[in-house]
Structure 1
Amino acid sequence: MDKHLSGRRHVMGWGAATAALHIMPAAAQAPQPPARMDGAAYTPRFVSSPDGVRLATYEFGNPQGPAILFLHGYAQAALSWDRQLRDPALARDFRMVAIDLRGHGMSAKPEGDAFYKPGQVWADDVRSVITELGLQKPVLVGWSYAGRVVGDYISTHGASAIGGINYVNASSSLGDPAFLGPDVGLLGPQAMLAPGIDGFIEGTVRFLRACFATQPEPADFQTMLAFNMLAPHYVRAGLSGRPANYAEALKALRLPVLVTHGEKDRILATPMGRFTAATVPGAKLSLYPESGHAPFWEEAPRFNRELAEFVRQAQANR
């Protein structure tokens, strides 16, 4: 069992107790501080996007080290990156920042498609975090849906302010049905967008199970379920149906790119990762034959080693 689990249970219990509050509209909520991740030194801070949405950010590691900015997937949270943020070797060498995307975790959850459908808002969120935290040429690590957030950012603001990109089982196009795994339908009304509280919870459980070829320990799964429930139904619906036209932005990239993909992914199939790697000039593809949708969790030691090597190479190329 993960040695940090005992430290996370306090956070987990608090998160579960407040999950129902975060399903309510944002106007009914009092502002909340970013959640404490017990057991590791970190700095929480809110960053405001141009449209006024407050984003919870969490900084770990060496303030003087090369910067890594972690972006989580659909209905997830900064806690998704637990096995990276708490890794002693990564913390020694790198400045690591994870954020709760708008509508997720402890970030604000305004209602209305204007806060979720336009690519501009996601692009501006990333730029705001980079600017307000003073991140110097960070490497963006984007998991799953965050591949689209990265695509929004580079399409809108270009790549001059970043040092590299690590796409992790990430969406970069919707142009080919072969990119989608057999369980991608769980993102729709049968699971993650199911009506009613019973269907909402059960659908979230089904989706989380589908994310892993090797299932998490029960305490870890409990943590994941709790922070997934912090993403309300209207937020999940707002993320759905957005266009994903990033091919031209990918082709224009001239910076180091690593594409990491678990070959047992049932949400986004391996052809998605191969497409990204083939579209970005000079990109490197790293496949994980035994991992599902979350290789950074399922094979954390290998993932962390490859991430460290990639960030160092990106810094050397600056």
Structure 2
Amino acid sequence: MNQHPASRRHVVGLGAAAIGFAPLPVATAKAQQVPAMVETAAYTPRFVSSPDGVRLATYEFGNPQGPAILFLHGFAQAALSWDRQLRNPELSREFRMVAIDLRGHGMSAKPEGDAFYKPGQVWADDVRSVIAELGLRRPVLVGWSYAGRIIGDYLTAHGAAALAGINYVDASSSLGDPAFLGPDVGLLGPQAMLAPGVEGFIDGTIRFLRACFARQPEPADFQTMLAFNMLAPHYVRSGLAGRPARYEDVLKSLRLPVLVSHGEKDRILATPMARFTAATVPGARLSLYPDSGHAPFWEEPDRYNHELTEFVRQVQVTR
């Protein structure tokens, strides 16, 4: 895999901090505790509290005066998933970029109980809390995989007035058709990501991660991904499972720019899912990546970053 400005060394350094080898910086007074690889990351961490009291870890990169992009990761992932965007020099010069560790993931709080994960309202309120507390002015919302549901939750509860645009990336927007699901979607269930026992849990997570990529990550990158996937406990993953996904009405009512990005070799969510999203949202644009799997933003970051840049610029002109 080609090297990019976000070096594997930085990825692994930040990943090590995330799994507890060293604390993430939460205040200037603690800066001397942060390892050198994390100190050079040039990001601002901050915790935001949702209305139900769950503390959400957020990370800000880039130009604080630029148009805002808010990144939401997928099932059992973390803000680190967006490393090749958050550390991209071109994106950083132009945009204010914020990524969240969703509740139950990464360095965010992990309360027990389905009440913290099953209702769509809690996910909607998380997104609204981050936008409000960080003062994000009409951000472009970028959602990968499971985050398509979270975008749907947000739109259902709070509407689209606070957003400038949306980028669905291999994202779930409906469960209404079996054709939307790829051959490896079953790995999200008891045979892999929800497998009982430590060995099954680890093995299942590895299998799921492998299935996310048509172009496999380098070993150091995969190691970091596995580390932050393991931060999502079994009860959190179970809490995310089985939620309804009925977002067709809000998609049809959207009147803002929408970009749908999707890898055609995705074995988790098939291309018909993306085609459905693009066809349901008035005026949405579909961008397919023939050589990518479930994570085109990682597998083809140069193309994806260029398209995201152009999309956000367009949004600023049209809004």
TM-score normalised per structure 2: 0.93
Any residues of structure 2 matched to 1:156-175 within 5 Å, and which?
A: 156-175=157-176
Shift of 1:287: 0.2
Q: Give deviations 1:236-293, integer Å, cap 9, x for gaps.
A: 0000000000000000000000000000000000000000000000000000000000
Q: Give deviations 1:180-215, integer Å, cap 9, x for gaps.
A: 000000000000000000000000000000000000
> How far apart, CA to CA, are the structure 2 residues paired with 1:127 and 1:90?
23
The aligned counterpart of 2:31 is none
The aligned counterpart of 2:184 is 183
8 A contact 2:139–2:165 mirrored in 1: yes
Confirm whether residue 8 of structure 1 aligns to residue 11 of structure 2: yes
1:135 partner SS: coil
Shift of 1:225: 0.2
Shift of 1:9: 2.6
> How far apart, CA to CA, are the structure 1 residues paired with 2:130 and 2:303?
28
> How far apart, CA to CA, are the structure 1 residues paired with 2:47 and 2:17?
19
Confirm whether residue 296 of structure 1 aligns to residue 297 of structure 2: yes
* Residue identity opposite 1:268 in structure 2: L
8 A contact 1:251–1:280 mirrored in 2: yes
Any residues of structure 2 matched to 1:1-318 within 5 Å, and which?
A: 1-2=3-4, 4-16=7-19, 37-318=38-319
* Residue identity opposite 1:244 in structure 2: A
8 A contact 1:32–1:106 mirrored in 2: no
> How far apart, CA to CA, are the structure 2 residues paired with 1:184 and 1:246?
20
8 A contact 1:123–1:157 mirrored in 2: yes
8 A contact 1:64–1:95 mirrored in 2: yes
Identity %: 78
8 A contact 1:265–1:292 mirrored in 2: yes
8 A contact 1:54–1:107 mirrored in 2: yes
Structure 1 residue ranges without an equivalent (≥5): 19-29
Shift of 1:32: 9.4
Query: Which structure 1 residue ranges, 4+ long, deviate > 2 Å from structure 2?
Result: 7-18, 30-40
8 A contact 2:18–2:106 mirrored in 1: no
- CA RMSD, aligned part only? 1.9
* Residue identity opposite 2:15 in structure 1: M
TM-score normalised per structure 1: 0.93
8 A contact 1:62–1:94 mirrored in 2: yes
> How far apart, CA to CA, are the structure 1 residues paired with 2:85 and 2:262?
17
Structure 2 residue ranges without an equivalent (≥5): 28-33
1:166 partner SS: strand
8 A contact 2:215–2:299 mirrored in 1: yes
8 A contact 2:18–2:24 mirrored in 1: no
Range moving further from structure 2, 34-43 or 102-111: 34-43
Range moving further from structure 2, 191-200 or 37-46: 37-46
8 A contact 2:12–2:221 mirrored in 1: no
> How far apart, CA to CA, are the structure 2 residues paired with 1:118 and 1:14?
31
8 A contact 2:18–2:107 mirrored in 1: no
2:213 partner SS: coil
The aligned counterpart of 1:22 is none
Q: Give deviations 1:211-244, integer Å, cap 9, x for gaps.
A: 0000000000001000000000000000000000
> How far apart, CA to CA, are the structure 1 residues paired with 2:8 and 2:213?
19
> How far apart, CA to CA, are the structure 1 residues paired with 2:25 and 2:114?
23
> How far apart, CA to CA, are the structure 2 residues paired with 1:157 and 1:126?
10
What is the number of equivalent residue pairs in this alignment? 308
Q: Give deviations 1:72-95, integer Å, cap 9, x for gaps.
A: 000000000000000000000000
* Residue identity opposite 1:309 in structure 2: E
8 A contact 1:211–1:265 mirrored in 2: yes
* Residue identity opposite 2:98 in structure 1: V
> How far apart, CA to CA, are the structure 2 residues paired with 1:278 and 1:8?
36
* Residue identity opposite 1:4 in structure 2: S
